[in-house]
Amino acid sequence: MTTVKTGQVPLAHDSEMARATPRKASMIGVNSRKLWLTVLGWGVAILIFFPIFWMIVTSFKTEAEAIADPSLIFAPTLENYVEVQLRADYFKFAMNSVVVAFGSTLLALLLAIPAAYSMAFLPTKRTKGTLLWMLSTKMLPPVGVLVPIYLLFRDTGLLDTRTGLIIVYTLMNLPIVVWMLYTFFKDLPKDILEAGRMDGASTFQEVWYLLLPLTLPGIASTGLLSVILSWNEAFWSLNLTSSQAAPLTAYIASFSSPEGLFWAKLSAASTMAIAPILVFGWLTQKQMVRGLTFGAVK
């Protein structure tokens, strides 16, 4: 007859407990780490977003409130939005921004896709060097080439034209676009393209029917990045345009002043300038994250 000593049950129970405690402890550890990471994530997000939040808040204050001690309690006003619209035609500037940002992105992709294809799938011993050289052009401060480009634009009649700005932005973003596409294309197994070639696909068909559909998230995120970079570019837009082709960056610049109060008006103009790209970025964020991850986890 097997007797169970009263003390044995607690023993068995103890061993279960002994097994459960580390698991529970590790669960608690995981949970607290998760909590900390969440808090950190939110902290960083709030830190990044705070200037934009404060700009939006300031745009609803009066000029006197904007320079007074920071406060979230105030009577909101739309007078700054009315004033900036009265002083400058927002839609003219916004239209220039849209045309130039999307036009330059389209042109950059048209040039970069064949370039990245050839570098990724038909590399030569100079490919790496070429890629590095392309990137090195980004290291030159733009002001260094301002006068030559200004003279070229003057002689070709491209000053203060959207076409001129599209050309400059395309050249400005091309190295980044080529590099990003090159990275995405490199991830694609060569065998897929070879299979297409075996089936008699021409180079164009290979790119159009195989490469582009398979790397679409990468191309989309590259395009989105190029649009954002073009939208926010200020140096060339301020220097190469005056009244006809000036985009939103020039619109914002016209509200800053060394004499007199301007923070609330500048905030209103800036809020209006970033609104379209903010909405665009929000709508396309899934695509963008997918594309960037596509390149990051290779």
Partner 1 sequence: MRLRHAIPLAGATALVSAAASAETITVATVNNNDMVIMQGLTDEFEKAHPDITLDWVVLEENVLRQRMTTDIATQGGQFDVMTIGTYEVPIWAERGWLTPLADLPDDYQVNDLLKPVRDGLSYDGTLYALPFYAESSMTYYNKALFEKAGIEMSDQPTWQEVSDWASRIHDPQNEVYGICLRGKPGWGENMAFVSTLVNTYGGRWFDMDWNPQLDSQAWQDAVSFYVDLLNNYGPPGASSNGFNENLALFSRGNCGMWVDATSAAGKLYNPDESQVADQLGFAPAPIAETPKGSHWLWSWALAIPATSDSKDAAETFITWATSQDYIELVGETKGWTSVPPGTRESTYENENYQQAAPFADFVLNAIREADPTDSTQEPAPYVGVQFVGIPEFQAIGTQVGQMIAAALTGDMSVEQALSSAQRSTERTMKRAGYPK
At position 28, the amino acid (one-letter code) is: I
Q: How far, in Å, CA of 271 to CA of 56, rounded? A: 6
CA angle 33, 36, 37 (to 5 degrees): 85
- 3-class secondary structure, 144: helix
Residue 94 half-sphere exposure toward CB, CA atoms < 13 A: 14
Residue with smaller CB distance to partner 1, 118 or 239? 239
Residue with smaller CB distance to partner 1, 205 or 254? 254
DSSP character at residue 159: T
Residue with smaller CB distance to partner 1, 106 or 238? 238
The minimum distance between CB 292 and partner 1, in angstroms, equals 33
Give the one residue of 255, 268, 274, 291 binding partner 1; rule: CB under 8 A: 255
Encoded one letter per residue, x for contact with partner 1 by CB under 8 A and - for no contact, window 227-246 reads -----------xx--xx--x
The minimum distance between CB 59 and partner 1, in angstroms, equals 17
Q: How far, in Å, CA of 192 to CA of 203, rounded? A: 13
Give the one residue of 40, 46, 151, 275 binding partner 1; rule: CB under 8 A: 151
254 binding partner 1? (CB under 8 A):
yes
Assigned token pair, 199:
């089936």
DSSP character at residue 176: H
First to last CA, the chain: 64
82 binding partner 1? (CB under 8 A):
no
The minimum distance between CB 246 and partner 1, in angstroms, equals 7
Give the one residue of 32, 156, 256, 285 binding partner 1; rule: CB under 8 A: 256
Residues of this chain, 109-148, that bind partner 1 according to CB under 8 A: 146-147
Residue 228 host element (H or E): helix 216-232
CA angle 257, 263, 265 (to 5 degrees): 90
Residue with smaller CB distance to partner 1, 174 or 252? 252
Assigned token pair, 40:
């950190």
63 binding partner 1? (CB under 8 A):
yes
The minimum distance between CB 251 and partner 1, in angstroms, equals 10
Residue with smaller CB distance to partner 1, 131 or 240? 240
257 binding partner 1? (CB under 8 A):
yes
159 binding partner 1? (CB under 8 A):
yes
Residue with smaller CB distance to partner 1, 51 or 260? 260
Q: What Cα–Cα distance (Å) separates residue 134 from each residue in 130, 168, 225, 234?
A: 6, 15, 18, 22
